[in-house]
């Protein structure tokens, strides 16, 4: 293909040179130089910090009165009818029955399923959607949805308001969210909130590798206790519910009229 394109280019160029009435035609786009200039201009960096600041403020103002959440992570690629999709629907339903808010990344797949389970069972359903070049659309089962421009801001919001985390099968993004949350719990940056890995067959190779990390001494054997691997939704919900009931009580926040915080 490349050879044919090059041959065609030279044929057109040769014809253009011999025929003065035909202007030269460029078949191959002109090269664009890319300069590795390191840090941007100071005014650019200031503008970036300002954008990040307003993304956080947007998230804080929209999510401040949610009440305690459980965040469900997982792939955007599973469709309705897939066993993992249907399991996520059940998780959303069970979270609603606990009186907690179901929070997801707001997109399709597992996120949609968990939101659907909450939405259709009188539970609160929230999505923190990411703005992508191909425009990930918020799923239709959200009582509240916000769009966030930066992945790292989105991850902060998905963790900040949650007291437990359900990690359904997923890809790179799910692994990123899982390991960042696990690291925060391991290092005591957030309290020892329960983390559930759902899907024994799917996550067994990962758990085997984590056990090998413990054997090699790169993590503590006790760190393995931070994660519950299960295929049993009842076991997962009981694990989460026991921790929350023992350690926490729900406290309502007052709205400040002078901050335009409406009921």
CATH of the domain at 89: 3.40.50.450
pLDDT of 124-175, one tens digit each?
A: 999 999 988 765 789 999 999 999 999 999 999 999 999 999 999 999 999 9
> Does residue 259 lie within any of the structural domains?
no
Task: Please tell me what DSSP assigns to residue 99.
Answer: T
> Does residue 3 lie within any of the structural domains?
no
Cβ atoms of residues 148 and 128 within 8 Å:
yes
Range of the domain at 214: 46-248
CA distances (Å), origin 123, targets 71, 100, 102, 157: 14, 7, 8, 20
> Does residue 168 lie within any of the structural domains?
yes
> Does residue 22 lie within any of the structural domains?
no
Cross-strand pairs, 167: 73, 197
Domain count, the chain: 1
> Does residue 131 lie within any of the structural domains?
yes
> Does residue 32 lie within any of the structural domains?
no
Q: Which residue has the tokens 């067959």?
A: 201
Rounded to two decimals, the pTM is 0.81
Question: Does the pLDDT of residue 252 top 90, yes or no?
Answer: no
Question: Does the pLDDT of residue 259 top 70, yes or no?
Answer: no
Cβ atoms of residues 94 and 67 within 8 Å:
no
User: Based on the number of CB atoms within 10 Å of its own CB, is 149 exposed (0-12), middle (13-18) or buried (19 or more)?
Assistant: middle
């Amino acid at each position: 293909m490349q050879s044919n394109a090059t041959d065609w280019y030279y044929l057109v160029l040769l014809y253009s040179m011999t025929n003065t009435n035909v202007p030269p035609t460029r078949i191959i786009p002109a090269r664009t130089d890319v300069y590795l200039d390191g840090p941007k201009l100071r005014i650019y960096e200031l503008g970036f910090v300002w954008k990040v600041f307003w993304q956080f403020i947007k998230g804080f103002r929209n999510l401040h009165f949610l009440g305690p959440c459980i965040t469900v992570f997982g792939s955007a690629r599973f469709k309705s009818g897939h066993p993992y999709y249907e399991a996520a629907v059940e998780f959303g339903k069970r979270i609603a029955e606990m009186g907690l808010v179901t929070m997801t990344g707001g997109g399709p797949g597992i996120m949609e399923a968990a939101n659907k389970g909450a939405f259709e069972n009188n539970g609160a359903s929230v999505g923190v959607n990411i703005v992508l070049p191909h425009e990930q659309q918020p799923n239709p089962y959200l009582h509240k949805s916000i769009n966030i421009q930066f992945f790292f801001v989105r991850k902060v919001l998905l963790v900040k308001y949650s007291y437990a985390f359900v990690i359904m099968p997923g890809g790179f993004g799910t692994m990123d969210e899982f390991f960042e949350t696990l690291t925060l719990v391991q290092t005591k940056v957030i309290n020892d909130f329960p983390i559930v890995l759902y899907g024994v067959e799917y996550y067994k190779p990962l758990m085997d590798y984590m056990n090998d990390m413990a054997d090699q001494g790169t993590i503590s054997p006790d760190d393995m206790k931070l994660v519950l691997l299960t295929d049993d939704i009842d076991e997962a919900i009981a694990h989460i519910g026991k921790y929350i009931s023992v350690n926490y009580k729900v406290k309502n926040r007052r709205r400040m009229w002078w901050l335009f915080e409406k009921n």
